[in-house]
Structure 1
Amino acid sequence: MNWDVFITCAVTGSGDSAGKSDKVPVTPQEIADAAIEAAKEGAAIAHIHVRDPNTGAASRDPELYKQVVDRIRNHDTDIIINLTAGMGGDVIFGGVENPLPLNPVGTDMVGATERMEHVRDLLPEICTLDCGTMNFSEGDYVMTNTPGILREMARQMTALGVRPEIEIFDTGHLVMAKQLVTEGLIEDPVMVQLCMGIPYGAPNDPLSLLAMTRNIPDSWTYSAFSIGRMQLPYVAMAALAGGNVRVGLEDNLYLGKGELASNGDLVARAHQILTAMGARILGPEEVRKKLQLTKR
């Protein structure tokens, strides 16, 4: 059991969720407000994607990230900013008989330096590194992260002084993460996010979670989450397994059956679950000290 837990709120994500709930933040103002709302309910970290304000579709426009980050930094509520660096690795094949050429609708595959542009410009305290390639249950879509691209992105993050949050969707991704650390591309303290229950990655049953956590070095810090209806049960599961917690509208839209949630609602419920278990919730300054983050 982890008795001193920090909460990350993933406020919007990149999935097709904005049309399913009017509580999913879309504009830079809404995304910044959602991060601040999460902070007020007890989140220490806000994990941030951006969306096209006109369509709600996922975006990696550096100007949109700047608008979000500036609004958060100019507010009097403290929260650690964690920007995704996962955009720009989307490949959609042309079909089962003609996989090439790639489908131009949805394919967005760019190099490591372009994927890091907003991180380089804004210098968040944390950014994500999706540590492997994976099939999702979405037709011919593949989340694509080659070993070469991952090595270069990790090198750039470390050179910038931005802490990588290593996203682990399956066991092989954890092997790659260890390799990056062994090669000196990621420095201590190492931070890992276990992304459970996402087809077709690691399932979210307790034994699969424990198999992952038992292979994480003792000196690393990790969080774990699951998606959909398992998000809130995973608040308890993650803490019991020795980790920290992630909730938010990137991964789940509901507080209960038929009850749409806001990000603040989900963080407040996570806070309630953890404190009822006897855990203490860490604030941003304690997390900065733990992870040796540089506040900007």
Structure 2
Amino acid sequence: MSQPGRKVIISCAVTGATHVPSMSEHLPLTPADIRDQAIDAARAGAAIIHLHARHPDDGRPTPSPDVFAQFVPAIADATDAVINITTGGSTRMTLDERLAYPRLLKPEMCSLNMGSMNFSIHPLAAKMPSWRYGWEKDYVEGMEDMIFRNTFRDIKRIMLELGGHGTRFEFECYDLGHLYNLAYFVDEGLVRPPFFIQSVFGILGGMGPDPENMAVMRSTADRLFGRDNYLFSVLGAGRHQMPLVTMAAIMGGNVRVGLEDSVYLAKGVKAESNAQQVAKIRRILEELSFEIATPADVRTMLGLKGADNVAFAAATA
């Protein structure tokens, strides 16, 4: 259960690469949109900002360092939030493409998917009445025949390349086996505690959004790593977002929200911004008497290298 007086980390995943523009008019697409929504989310209480990039013209996911450079330094200038850059990108990107910007930036944190998997939202295509851009329909329907690849060698490469610069990881675990994959790399000496384990529920291809699954993930992580050696965090996809992350906090964990994970604020109500979701979960947590972690708290809790050691200037050049 939760520990009295502990601080809860709120992460915000601002745009992602799964939802397409037609799913919400509020999904940030341009560098300016991503910048502004990330800054507002940080001001609302998100200590970690998880970032993907999108092509400014049509909102399709892009790994381009030039696009990332148009908003990441500005977020760092305007907030003290921990900048967390994806290494997942999208299922259509190569590993080299996914690592292009993190290699330049050498951020405090990067996400790291802990295994290859089916990853899809293709059933949503049949529910879309229209499409804003020509690429979207094929992109969503095509997920039915796509695999997100992160082999053991891929994961090792990410750990060595980025970890060698002091980058720490948000270990995204979509299934129970991903915890065992992480334990393997711990045994190999490639990563050290404290581990930030982001358990993902509700993605087709991964664990379902059943509360029982969260209990199994928590108890398994306890056995593999020891509770003092990791921080548990949860994201719930779609309509499961708020109930699951609230349960995670009550179980002693941390929370992730954001339009990458759900475009809704409540049943039938689309979130108008990432900050709205952050403000909502913050209110829920504070009403449950939890204290919200600041970016400075997070840097201490996760042993991060600090923003002063991130190569913002080099990545922009």
Q: TM-score, normalised by structure 1?
A: 0.89
1:169 CA drift (Å): 0.4
More helix by share: 2
1:253 match: 263
Aligned with residue 234 of structure 1, among 225, 241, 244: 244
Do the aligned residues in 2 keep the contact of 1:7 with 1:246 (CA within 8 Å)? yes
Do the aligned residues in 2 keep the contact of 1:29 with 1:71 (CA within 8 Å)? no
1:21 match: 24
Once the two structures are superposed, residues 68-99 of structure 1 have per-residue CA deviations (whole angstroms, 9 ceiling, x without a partner) of 21111222x221100000126x2xxxxxxxxx
Is 2:301 the partner of 1:290?
A: yes
Q: Which amino acid aligns with 1:285?
A: A
Q: Partners in 2 of 1:74 and 1:109 — Cα distance?
A: 30
Do the aligned residues in 2 keep the contact of 1:155 with 1:186 (CA within 8 Å)? no
Aligned with residue 48 of structure 1, among 39, 46, 51: 51
Is 2:41 the partner of 1:30?
A: no
Q: Which amino acid aligns with 2:284?
A: I
1:274 match: 285
**RMSD across aligned C-alpha pairs, in angstroms?**
1.4
1:172 CA drift (Å): 0.9
1:108 match: 93
Aligned with residue 132 of structure 1, among 115, 121, 139: 115
Q: Which amino acid aligns with 1:133?
A: S
Q: Partners in 2 of 1:50 and 1:248 — Cα distance?
A: 14
1:164 CA drift (Å): 1.2
1:39 match: 42
Do the aligned residues in 1 keep the contact of 2:24 with 2:270 (CA within 8 Å)? yes
Q: Partners in 2 of 1:87 and 1:16 — Cα distance?
A: 13
1:81 match: 83
Q: Which amino acid aligns with 1:63?
A: D
**Range with greater deviation from structure 2 (245-254 or 61-70):** 61-70
Do the aligned residues in 1 keep the contact of 2:47 with 2:294 (CA within 8 Å)? yes
State, as a whole percentage, how many aligned pairs show the same letter: 39
Q: Partners in 1 of 2:208 and 2:250 — Cα distance?
A: 17
Q: How many residues align?
A: 276
Is 2:202 the partner of 1:197?
A: yes
Once the two structures are superposed, residues 92-128 of structure 1 have per-residue CA deviations (whole angstroms, 9 ceiling, x without a partner) of xxxxxxxxxxxxxxx43344xx532211211221001
1:158 match: 163
Aligned with residue 224 of structure 1, among 234, 251, 263: 234
Structure 2 residue runs of 5 or longer lacking an equivalent are: 121-142, 308-317
1:60-71 counterparts in 2 under 5 A? Answer: 60-71=63-74
Structure 1 residue runs of 5 or longer lacking an equivalent are: 91-106
Once the two structures are superposed, residues 11-58 of structure 1 have per-residue CA deviations (whole angstroms, 9 ceiling, x without a partner) of 101023322212111111111111110111111010000000101011
Do the aligned residues in 2 keep the contact of 1:190 with 1:221 (CA within 8 Å)? yes
1:64 CA drift (Å): 1.2
